[in-house]
Amino acid sequence: MAEELSYVIINPYTIYKSRTGGVLARLLTRTSLDLVGAQMFAPSQALVDEYAQNIVTEADPQDRKIQELIRDYVKENLAPDPITGVRERVMMLLFRGENAVRRIRETVGTFKENFLGGLSIRDTYGDMVYNRDGSVRYFEPAVLASPNIAEAKLKLKIWAKYADSDGGLLEKALPTVTDPRHERTLVIIKPDNFKFPNGRPGNILDIFSRTGLAITGIKVHRMTVAEAEDFYGPVRDVLKGVLAEPFGERAKDLLSSALNVPITPEMQAQLGSILGPVAGAAQFNNIVKFMTGRAPTDTKGEARNEPGTEKCIILVYEGIDAVKKIREVLGPTDPAKAPPGSIRREFGSTIMVNAAHASDSADNARREMGIVKIRENNFKSLIESFYQD
C-alpha cells in the first residue's frame, strides 16, 4: 500500500495551555506513523482565509454544522488580531506512512452532538459546550486535521505556499521580547527517544512546559557528521582533561595487578596524560555516532555533510531567563545525579544517552542554532517532493 502524507495543526489555545506534549505523545503512540516534519507558523490573514475557505466540503464525514464551526473557529482564532496585528502561534506536524490520513483522523477524533468520551485528542483536549436551546456556547477543536487524502493534499499545498513568509523561527512573537532578561535557548530531543514509536518526545515536551516558556521554532532534523563535530566541538578538549585522572587510575590498577609493579603517583599522572586524550577522542566519536548514526572515523568527503540516519527534534524556547529555566527542568548531564522529576532522571540512562540537550548560555544557544540551521526547514520541500505533479 502506498504511503500517504498527513498533518496535524496544533491550535493557539492548545499551545497556550501547554498541551502540545500530550497531543504529540498520542499522535506518536496511537498512529505509529513517522514524524517527518514540523514547523511553527504565525499565520497571516491571507493564509487563514485560503485555508478556511477549503474547510467545509461534501467529502468530510463530519456534520456540516461542525465543519462550519471549525471554519469559523479558524477565521476567528488563527488570524492576526484585527486591532494590534499580533499573530497567533500554531505548530504544524507532518506524518508519513500507510493510511496516514485515516490514522491521524481517528486519533484526532471527530465531534458529535452530545458525545462524551476520552479516546481521541479532541475528546481530551477539545470542547463543545451547548446552551439549553441546543446552540453551541463554546467550541475548541484543540487540533486540526484533514478528513481525506484529497483534502490533505490541497491543504498541505496551501501551508507550503506560505511556509517561507508565515513560518519558521518566529520573530517578536512574545511581549517580553524587549525585556533585557528575554532569551532564546535551543533544545534537542535526542535520537534515543525515536528508536520505536513511543510517547517520550511528547512527555519531554510536557516537562519543559513547566517553565512557562514559549516554543517559537521547531524542526525534525537528522544531524550530519560535520554538524555534530562542530556542535560538540567544545566538549572534545573537556573530555580529554576529564578522563585523564580516571583512566590513569584505572591503568595503575590494571598494571599493578597484572605485572605486580608498583606505580607511583607521578607514573599514574603520566599514564593519565597519555590515555586521557585517547579516551576523550573515542568518547567524542561515540557522541557523534550516537547523534548521527555514523562513525566520524568512517565518514569521509561529501558524506560528512549528508543527513545522518538518526532523527531528533530541535526546538527554540523563548522568554524570561529561558536558558536557566530550561536547564533546571532538564537536570545535570549524568541522569544518576539528576533530581526526581527532571527530564534526564525520568528518561536518561547514561551521560551520553540522556534524553535531551539544552544550551548552557545565550551565546552558546546562538552558536548552536547556527550550526543546526534553525532558520532552515525541510517542511516545504517535503510537501513539494511528495506531491510532484
Q: Tell me: do 165 and 235 sit in the same domain.
A: no
Cell 515536551, located at residue:
205
Instruction: Please report whether residue 329 resides in a domain.
Output: no
Residue with cell 500517504: 4
* End-of-domain residue from the set 270, 304, 338: 304
* DSSP code of residue 102: H
Q: Which of 90, 95, 89 is nearest to 37 (CA)?
A: 95
- For residue 238, give the C-alpha cell: 573537556
Give yes or no: residues 259 and 111 share one domain: no
Of 304, 325, 349, the one marking the end of a domain is: 304
Backbone region of residue 18 per phi and psi (left: phi > 0; alpha: psi in -120 to 50; beta: other values): left
Nearest to 217 by CA among 183, 176, 184: 184
Q: Rounded to the nearest 5 degrees, what angle is found at the Cα of 139, between the Cα atoms of 137 and 141?
A: 170
Predicted local distance difference test score (pLDDT) of residue 250: 73
**Domain annotation covers residue 27:** yes
Residue carrying C-alpha cell 475557505: 53
Q: Is 341 part of a structural domain of the chain?
A: no
Position 313 in a domain: no
Q: Are residues 46 and 147 in the same domain?
A: yes
154 with 45, same domain? yes
Task: Tell me if 290 is assigned to some domain.
Answer: yes
CA distances from 186 to 217, 225, 342, 361, 368 (A): 9, 19, 17, 10, 7
Are the C-beta atoms of 127 and 136 separated by less than 8 Å?
A: no
Kindly give the parts of the chain with pLDDT less than 70: 1, 113-118, 239-248, 251-252, 268, 271-272, 275-276, 279-280, 389
Neighbouring C-alpha atoms within 13 Å toward the C-beta of 112: 6
The whole-angstrom separation of Cα 24 and Cα 8 is 10
Query: What pLDDT sits at residue 117?
Result: 61
Tell me whether residue 223 is in a domain. Answer: no
The answer to whether position 88 is within a domain reads yes
Task: Mark whether 13 and 152 lie in a shared domain.
Answer: yes
Q: What was the pLDDT predicted at 114?
A: 57
Considering the domain architecture, whether residues 134 and 30 belong to the same structural domain is answered as yes
The CA–CA distances, whole Å, from 22 to 29, 140, 142, 209, 343 equal 11, 16, 11, 11, 15
161 with 90, same domain?
A: yes
CATH code for position 89: 3.30.70.141
3-state secondary structure of 320: strand
β-sheet bridge partners, residue 261: none
Dihedral angle at the C-alpha atoms of 291, 293, 296, 301, nearest 10 degrees? Answer: -110
Residues 144 and 284 both lie in one domain: no
| Boundary (domain end) residue, out of 304, 324, 356 | 304
Tell me, yes or no, whether 145 and 237 share the same domain. Answer: no
Distances (CA, A) of 122 to 10, 129, 140, 233: 11, 13, 9, 44
- Active-site entry in 10, 357, 365, 379: 357
Question: For the chain, how many structural domains are there in total?
Answer: 2
Q: Which helix (H) or strand (E) holds 287?
A: helix 265-292
Secondary structure (3-state) at 131:
coil
Judgement on whether residues 296 and 380 belong to the same structural domain of the protein = no
Strand partners, 143: 10
Encode pLDDT of 296-352 as tens digits: 989 999 999 999 999 999 999 999 999 999 999 999 988 999 999 999 999 999 888
Does one domain contain both 284 and 160?
A: no
Same domain flag for 252 and 161: no
Is position 182 annotated as part of the catalytic site?
no
In a domain, 73, yes or no: yes
User: In terms of residue numbers, what domain contains 70?
Assistant: 3-169+374-386
Rounded (10°) CA dihedral 348, 228, 314, 42: 170
